Structure 1
């Protein structure tokens, strides 16, 4: 039996790390020999409890930014686990660049698997210092792409057998191509925030007015909670204004709902293409990209590292950043040439083999078993 300690944002928090941790935990706990404790990472007390399966997984504590007592409580809980699985993103922990996670790792007696969601090719001096400190205190460091592994070695000097590449898990099965209809649907989904580049996607739609059947663009997702706290719905309002300015109200729609897995699966079944017009040139991992490829939907994405690696096999087209003309050209090729779309769907099936959450969880389970064995010898 393995008792896992999960450290991350978790539902009811809505963000990529929370979704990732819930899915990984669900898959690991599918084995009745596994159990869990949960350290929920928060900016401030929110008066809520855990939701979903993690609410019933086992004991939990909150790790609250700027409160050293919660670091001690979390470390005490994790020290009673066989293995801690710690999700790392600079923005979720307290202190400058999330440095408070270092104290948590130092105080935890159990071996720790640290999962890096961001590996910056050009970090600040303090970001560099924090990530090196995190990796020194990890028993195993997981990255999700070969590019991230190479960046971790080149920029941070972290390499060797402690660094493992385990892909981002996916929940969506390969969807059949949507039936021919009176429109073509382009889809972007996920939490909305400046930097997602959605304005470039909207501008690309204005260049596809001549395509028949007519192209409709759906952007589905709530505004990121941290963006709401800082600037409200300013970005979404700006996007709606651009839609009106370009007279695209009948072709572009913003859906502000947070999609649960069943809703997302139904939506993916209607999509002819997925557009990821992200501004970031550094994004090491994208769960949305992984899910789109696993669903077999042709993808047009800007050249962030995960897209360059995952789409290299032909599952989509990589385009320059902030370039609506190139986005429109790529979408036109997919939406008007069946052979192009079919070839991408076939490539996607090959690219996403063995990335179901159950398959990914088996890799985590094997790593955990290694660490437990080392503790015993």
Structure 2
């Protein structure tokens, strides 16, 4: 019997990683919306016009909005809830907690962040969310281990299901006349692009010299608070380093086909992130699934996925090490192929159909374990 799925999350046209993830997961679980619906969480300034598949909108200005959102989720067999601090109203997004507690249908909470050093309130909130949820999904073993070691949660509720990826390999690789370095995703401080620019300046001796594409819009929250200051700083840095002509800014939010073509044109994906907290990176998964070598700093997801796999790891904030790793990928014969061949068998397990099937299996198992409601017999 087909299950129906209710999803609680940010959702397009909101442009963020959480919304993109939820949209893809919903599409692969519900058969073009036939068996599901979205309860969309919005922020100030979001476009709140009706969207296909959205059955309810939880706006930040709605007092007690969690009650109506919870009621909308009750129309489905299961609620899949995306969690990130600050997505929901209340301090640290705490308004999602009473919603979870009031749900009669089983719930699966997907954790996009598990902090190693949370504030006491963040820690307590995540522990209470874990207690209220029927199951918890982390996208990496690192996140699972951090959660079970650092938080009081029922380890039996925690399941690891990877972040899904599109089938980029259906797009033929398109090599350019010059080696192509690529970083993509919503832009803002912490992405470490400045380190990649400094590394690019150290690669000037290569013939032909590489070009570096920085693809993606500025993150909406960064844009609201800081405008384009970060991107403008990158332009200024590139000019000081003398690499402006080798840098291509592509400040658009691409659809799937366009993104696949861009990724498959890259010789190496560079992820120079500053964060040592990042236990999940959708960009990293997409790059690996596209069969493109990756050079990344040692953020937790990269360490887990790239060690012995399709990429090279470098220390944070070290442009010389970053340049050396990129140089090796671009110039050492056979290295790029060797890196990507190591995970050829892994790629099918990362594609959205396989990931969605694991969510469906988890949901069916969760529903099977729920006690059947019985009516009390009065004497």
Q: Shorter-chain-normalised TM-score: which range?
A: over 0.9
For residues 47 and 169 of structure 2, what CA distance do their matches in structure 1 show? Answer: 39
Q: 1:342 aligns with which of 337, 345, 350?
A: 337
Asked if 1:262 is matched to 2:263, the reply is no
> Which residue of structure 1 aligns with residue 112 of structure 2?
117
Asked if 1:317 is matched to 2:318, the reply is no
Q: 2:326 aligns with which of 306, 328, 331?
A: 331
* Residues 148-159 of structure 1 mapped to structure 2, 5 A cutoff: 148-159=143-154
How many pairs align? 371
Q: 1:258 to 1:176 in 2, by over 3 A?
A: closer
Contact 1:273 1:300 in 2 (8 A): yes
Q: 2:204 aligns with which of 202, 209, 212?
A: 209
> Which residue of structure 1 aligns with residue 42 of structure 2?
42
Q: TM-score, normalised on structure 2?
A: 0.93
* Residues 183-198 of structure 1 mapped to structure 2, 5 A cutoff: 183-198=178-193
Contact 1:132 1:156 in 2 (8 A): yes
Contact 1:117 1:143 in 2 (8 A): yes
For residues 100 and 166 of structure 1, what CA distance do their matches in structure 2 show? Answer: 25
Deviation at 1:84, TM superposition (A): 0.2
For residues 354 and 126 of structure 2, what CA distance do their matches in structure 1 show? Answer: 28
Q: Deviations over 1:288-341 (max 9, x none)?
A: 000000101000011111100110232101110011111000000000113111
Q: 2:163 aligns with which of 159, 164, 168?
A: 168
CA RMSD of aligned residues (A): 1.8
Deviation at 1:363, TM superposition (A): 0.8
> Which residue of structure 2 aligns with residue 351 of structure 1?
346
For residues 347 and 13 of structure 1, what CA distance do their matches in structure 2 show? Answer: 36
Deviates more, 1:364-373 or 1:141-150: 364-373
Contact 2:131 2:154 in 1 (8 A): no
Q: Structure 1, unaligned stretches of length 5 or more? A: none
> Which residue of structure 1 aligns with residue 226 of structure 2?
231
For residues 335 and 8 of structure 1, what CA distance do their matches in structure 2 show? Answer: 40
Deviation at 1:282, TM superposition (A): 0.6
Q: TM-score, normalised on structure 1?
A: 0.94
For residues 177 and 344 of structure 1, what CA distance do their matches in structure 2 show? Answer: 19
Deviation at 1:273, TM superposition (A): 0.1
Q: 1:47 to 1:344 in 2, by over 3 A?
A: closer
Deviation at 1:173, TM superposition (A): 3.1
SS in 2 for 1:157: coil
Asked if 1:16 is matched to 2:17, the reply is yes
Contact 1:152 1:159 in 2 (8 A): no
Contact 2:87 2:93 in 1 (8 A): yes
Deviation at 1:176, TM superposition (A): 8.2
Q: Structure 2, unaligned stretches of length 5 or more? A: 373-379
SS in 1 for 2:64: helix
Q: Deviations over 1:203-224 (max 9, x none)?
A: 1100000012211110000000
Contact 2:180 2:211 in 1 (8 A): yes
Deviates more, 1:169-178 or 1:309-318: 169-178
For residues 348 and 308 of structure 1, what CA distance do their matches in structure 2 show? Answer: 14
